Amino acid sequence: MGINQTIMKKIKKVLISVSNKKKLKVLLNALTKHKIELISSGGTYKEIKRLNFKCVEVSEYTNSPEILGGRVKTLHPKIHAGILSKRNNKSHQRDLKKNNFKEIDLVIVNFYPFEKTLEQTTNHLKIIENIDIGGPTMVRAAAKNYNDVAVITSPDQYEELINEIKKNNGGTSFKFREKMSLEAFSETAYYDAVISNYFNKNFQNNFPKKKVIYGNLIEKLRYGENPHQESAIYSKSSKLNIIQIHGKQLSYNNYNDIFSALIISKSLPNNIGTVIVKHSNPCGVSIHKNELKSYKLAVACDPVSAFGSIVSCNYKVKKNLALELNKIFLEVIIANSFDVDALKILKRKKNLRIVDASNFLINDSVKFNSVNESILAQSEDINKFSIKDFKIASKKKPTKKQLKSLIFAFNVCSYVKSNAIVLASQNATIGIGSGQPNRVDSCQIAIDKMNKFQNIKKDIVAASDAFFPFVDGIEKLVQSGVSAIIQPFGSIRDKEIIKFANQTNTVLVFSKTRHFRH
């Protein structure tokens, strides 16, 4: 059976319990104008009285004092019977009359600021005390009984409520109550999800039996990967830790590429490095200390793919670089801030999206991938490689310069879609082969790009995101001029690879870990 829709419901009593007391005076003016009786407790009651409005305290209303230091105040049959009673149910009405309980027609509650508490302290006991019990219980009760009761869970909804009761002469429509109920259940689910995730994180349980994912809607996007797909971006925070300064609205694909670029950028040395990304794959990376040179080297790796790409600068963009950036069509430019002259130059292009990522940090939280009703979850692969993560497998030892170049190439390689091959020289990539079903094809693509766009004949190193299962891949690289190779160990043919390296006087370094990115 469906809900028996009461189209308009007059409000006689409202229970108010809010931690966020903003906009309260405007709300109270609207409520008392329609002679709605106010019930409240704790700090909210004191604030209402301070604002000179008549209000009945919950302990007086229930004839039951607050106990346990305020832990129990609204958890009372008179409160919840008033909220949950069906107005057209004779049995419910008899129960109310028998117990001398009154109906409560509107509940205005927002919860203890649990997320804010997490930002302010790591004291577990203080955090526990900021888990709201009474608030979510009242909200859930009101939301369940939306046929008769309206529920408000945020100051952002006050204006809509005020307009609603003004339009309906102190009442609410079914459509309004239904909408607020939906939002209320989302609010309680979100609140409980934050608490659940805190407990799991606190007790280092990354993969609990039941995983709850939560987020705030940042914005609905124009469409997804394609125009027929709907799309939106959510964040655990109320805002992203990147700021769009200029340009068209960011799209789903833009965000996907931005995050891919930033993950690579933040793996590079502080305030050094340029990353160019196309379709979530890097097509050029440089860690040259000169910023203009760094950008030019990154573009040189694959200038064709750089057209219409996303450029991420792990440093502040200045005037001279801005002039260079404006020479080709780019979708997005990301940087650790922009100076005034650079912004003036870049803003000449009306649609160019300019993003400040000064506050963007990569953490080790769990990342997700979903299909239908299934979700894959894993910890993030955050790489900060050092020499101890590798071992030299060949007779020929790498120079310090070679080893640095190998580690740089391997780091970039870990962010390229597998199967992945990265060729590098002089602190920059010079050829990237990505996303092929076999490693030999990736080798060939990387070599072809190097030969097409570069004129480098020495100091070439290569990185592979996994071991070479046969000699053919490493042979192709050596024949192209590669003098040093880095790969994870673990193949049953590792000895054959080492033997080939020694026969060709090639440096071979093994990584102790593998870094696929599918």
Query: What is the DSSP track for 76-112?
Result: SHHHHHHHH--TT-HHHHHHHHHHT-----EEEEE--
Please list the residues that pair with 219 across neighbouring strands.
233
232's CB contacts (< 8 A; 6+ apart) are 217, 218, 219, 220, 221
What is the spatial distance between Cα 510 and Cα 393, in angstroms, rounded to a whole number?
6
Number of alpha helices (DSSP H) and beta strands (DSSP E) in the chain: 19, 23
Note the pLDDT of residue 208: 87
Helix (H, G, I), strand (E, B) or coil at 238: coil
Q: How many domains does the chain have?
A: 3
Confidence of residue 150 (pLDDT cuts 50, 70, 90): very high
Do 194 and 248 fall within a single domain? no
Do 251 and 105 fall within a single domain? no
Please list the residues that pair with 234 across neighbouring strands.
217
Note the pLDDT of residue 2: 53
Do 434 and 505 fall within a single domain? yes
**Residue finishing a domain among 178, 202, 226:** 202
Q: How many CB atoms lie within 10 A of CB 109?
A: 26
What is the spatial distance between Cα 171 and Cα 7, in angstroms, rounded to a whole number?
10
Query: Is 146 a member of any domain?
Result: yes
pLDDT digits (tens, 9 = 90+) for 464-489: 888 877 778 888 899 999 999 999 88
pLDDT digits (tens, 9 = 90+) for 197-226: 889 988 888 888 888 888 889 999 989 999
Strand order of the sheet with strand 37-40? 56-57, 37-40, 13-18, 106-110, 150-152
Query: Is 474 a member of any domain?
Result: yes
Which among 454, 444, 452, 512 is positioned nearest to 475, based on CA atoms? Answer: 444
What is the spatial distance between Cα 95 and Cα 64, in angstroms, rounded to a whole number?
19
Instruction: Quote the domain boundaries for residue 455.
Output: 387-511
Query: Is 381 a member of any domain?
Result: no
Do 65 and 196 fall within a single domain? yes
Mean pLDDT (whole number) for 356-366: 85
Do 402 and 476 fall within a single domain? yes
Question: 116-124: which pairs have CB atoms within 8 A and are 24 or more residues apart?
Answer: 118/194, 118/198, 124/202
Percent of the chain with pLDDT over 70: 99
Q: Which helix (H) or strand (E) holds 320?
A: helix 319-325
End-to-end CA distance of the chain: 48
> Burial code of 298-308, b = ≥16 C-beta within 10 A, e = fewer?
bbbbbbebbee
Phi, psi of 410 (to 5 degrees): -70, -35
Do 60 and 117 fall within a single domain? yes
Q: What is the domain-level CATH number for residue 318?
A: 3.40.140.20
Do 419 and 277 fall within a single domain? no
Three-state DSSP string of 240-282: CCCEEEECCCCCHHHHHHHHHHHHHHCCCCCCCCEEEEECCEE
What is the spatial distance between Cα 115 and Cα 126, in angstroms, rounded to a whole number?
12
Do 297 and 435 fall within a single domain? no
Do 180 and 317 fall within a single domain? no
Query: Is 378 a member of any domain?
Result: no
Return the DSSP state at 69: G
Note the pLDDT of residue 514: 74
Query: Is 77 a member of any domain?
Result: yes
Do 165 and 44 fall within a single domain? yes
Note the pLDDT of residue 1: 43
327's CB contacts (< 8 A; 6+ apart) are none
What is the spatial distance between Cα 460 and Cα 398, in angstroms, rounded to a whole number?
12
pLDDT digits (tens, 9 = 90+) for 276-328: 999 999 999 999 999 999 999 999 999 999 999 999 999 999 999 999 999 99
pLDDT digits (tens, 9 = 90+) for 35-52: 999 999 888 999 999 999
Do 304 and 396 fall within a single domain? no
**Residue finishing a domain among 175, 202, 229:** 202
Which residues are known catalytic residues? Answer: 144, 279
pLDDT digits (tens, 9 = 90+) for 381-426: 777 887 888 899 999 999 999 999 999 999 999 999 888 999 999 8
**Residue finishing a domain among 186, 202, 218:** 202
Q: How many CB atoms lie within 10 A of CB 70?
A: 12
Confidence of residue 331 (pLDDT cuts 50, 70, 90): very high
Query: Is 256 a member of any domain?
Result: yes
* Rounded alpha-carbon distances, angstroms, from residue 74 to 294, 310, 431: 62, 54, 66
Q: How many CB atoms lie within 10 A of CB 507?
A: 22
Do 505 and 398 fall within a single domain? yes
Report how far Cα 505 is from the mean position of its chain's Cα atoms.
47
Whole-prediction pTM: 0.84
Query: Is 292 a member of any domain?
Result: yes
Average pLDDT, the chain: 90
304's CB contacts (< 8 A; 6+ apart) are none
Query: Is 376 a member of any domain?
Result: no
Helix (H, G, I), strand (E, B) or coil at 194: helix
Which residue type sits at 353? R
Q: What is the domain-level CATH number for residue 143?
A: 3.40.50.1380
